[in-house]
Structures are given as structure tokens and as C-alpha cells.
Chains A and B, each alone.
Chain A
Amino acid sequence: MEYLRAFLVGGLICVIAQIIIDKTSLTPARVLVCFVTAGVILTAIGIYEPIVKFGGAGATVPLPGFGYALAKGAIKGVEEMGAMGAFVGGVRAAAGGITAAVVFGYLAAVLFNPRMKR
């Protein structure tokens, strides 16, 4: 059941992005930026948390889930250390993902070469 819910929620988030890409002139890169920001805002107003509770990885693996981690971390940071927490909490919560993206991204780009177009 848990896997089915992850499949449904994750799939639906991707369908929303697909409709935006097909129906507007937004490039995939702009959609990524919009989705992360949307994830932050939806978390702040309390809409994304129930989606995560229901969908699990279906809600945290797509990019809005990255925004969710940032926003949730910033709020937790403020609770722990006041205003400074707004600057510390977000990136701290997303640190694993950001560092993995930099390190694995760098290694993959150095080790592999672009494949010839077939």
C-alpha cells in the first residue's frame, strides 16, 4: 500500500509538471525552479505536510520535496535558535542532498564522457 501511494502521488506531481511543460512555454529548468519554490510555499502554509504523510517518497523524491525539506528545516531552525535559525535550518535539513548533488555530480561529470548521438 505504501508503495502504491508513493507511485500515485509521485506520478501525479510529474503529470502536473508535464501539463505545464506542454501547455506553456516554460522550459523544464524553469519548471524545476517553480516546483522547488512551490514546495517551500506549500510547506509554509501547511498543505505539503499532509501530502508527505500520505505519499511518503512520492512526495519527498520529486523536487517540491526538496522545497519541503528546506522550509521545514528553516521553521525548525527558528524554533531552536530564533531568527538565525531561518538562515541555518533550511540548508542544514537539505545538506545531504545538496552535498550529494555536488560530489556525485562532479565525479560523474569527470569520470564519464557524453555519449555520441546515435
Chain B
Amino acid sequence: MDVKQQKLNKEYQIYVQRKMPKSNLLRDCILAFLVGGLICTIGQAVNNFGKSYFNLNTEEASAFTAIVMIFIGALLTGLGVYDDIGKYGGAGSVVPITGFANSIVSPAMEFKKEGYVFGVGSKLFSIAGPVLVYGITASVLVGLIYFFVK
């Protein structure tokens, strides 16, 4: 590599670094806190609604909340609103269960043209699949360990 080429490479590196979007950790964290906190507050309201109107116990109310929040997440993703929330909320929109619904609907919608079996059907699980695999496997291990040490 001659000197000229080296100089060009160096200039390009500097150019790339200048153009890279700066991630501002503090700003990201504040937005994640606000958006994530707000979604969980809505979840709390749904939970309380289930307890008072349908007389659900704690466990049933948690399941009710999960179902309603997933419904909201899936609907907002379909309408294209969740992407806008995600643009600002970052992890605040990914980590709540509404983000789980978003991770299911988004790729399935995107790959619809590949058909309803291998497009929608399998892409539904492109992120939910790994989550279920590791979550369920870990829970079975925990159950078995509990069985042996109990």
C-alpha cells in the first residue's frame, strides 16, 4: 500500500467517525426510563382493573395484564405506531412485554410476501423463538434443581 492510499484510508476513518450517530448514553437512559416506566404504569392500571372488575387473584391478574399488554403491543405495531415509540424509547420500548409483541409482529408482517406458512408462521418466532427456548429451558432446570434439593 503506498503512502497516498494510507493517507486516504486515514481520512476515510476520520470521516466515518464523524458521520457515525453519537449515542448519548444519558439521553438514551432518560428516555428509556420514561417510556419503560410509562408502559409499566399502564400495565399496573390494567392489573388493577382486572383485580377490581373481574375479581382476579394476583396470578390471574398478572396473566390478564400480559394478555392485554401483548394485544396493545401487537395492535400498535400493526398500525405502525410502535416503531415511532421505539425510535425515542430505545430499550424502554423493547424490554416491556409490549416490545416482545412488537418483536413478533414486525418480522411476520415484513415477510408476509413469502407466504402464510414460512413467511408469517415462522417469522413470528424469529425473536420470540429464542426467548421461549431459553426461558422455558431455564425454568425446567430450575424446577428440576428445586425437585432434587427440596
Give the interface of B toward A (CB within 8 A). 23, 25, 28-29, 32-41, 43-48, 59, 62-67, 69-71, 74-75, 77-80, 83, 89-92, 94-101, 103-105, 108-110, 112, 116, 120-121, 123-124, 127-128, 130-132, 134-136, 138-140, 142-147, 150
Contacts A17-B32, A19-B25, A63-B100; is A3 near B146 (CB within 8 Å)?
no
Interface of B is mostly: helix
Interface residues on A, range: 35 or more
Query: CB distance B103 to A66 under 8 Å?
Result: no
Q: Tell me, rounded to whole Å, the shortest Cβ–Cβ distance linking B68 to chain A.
A: 8
A75: which B residues are within 8 A, CB to CB? 142-143, 146
Query: CB distance B91 to A6 under 8 Å?
Result: no
B44: which A residues are within 8 A, CB to CB? 2-3, 6, 56-58
Contacts A19-B29, A57-B43, A104-B70; is A62 near B96 (CB within 8 Å)?
yes
Contacts A10-B96, A31-B91, A44-B145; is A109 near B41 (CB within 8 Å)?
no
Query: CB distance A57 to B95 under 8 Å?
Result: no
Query: CB distance B91 to A11 under 8 Å?
Result: no
CA distance A115 to B11 in the complex (A): 38
Contacts A66-B97, A97-B63; is A91 near B78 (CB within 8 Å)?
no
CA distance A115 to B45 in the complex (A): 30
Query: CB distance B97 to A6 under 8 Å?
Result: no
Q: A14 touches which one: B71, B75, B95, B135 (CB < 8 A)?
A: B95
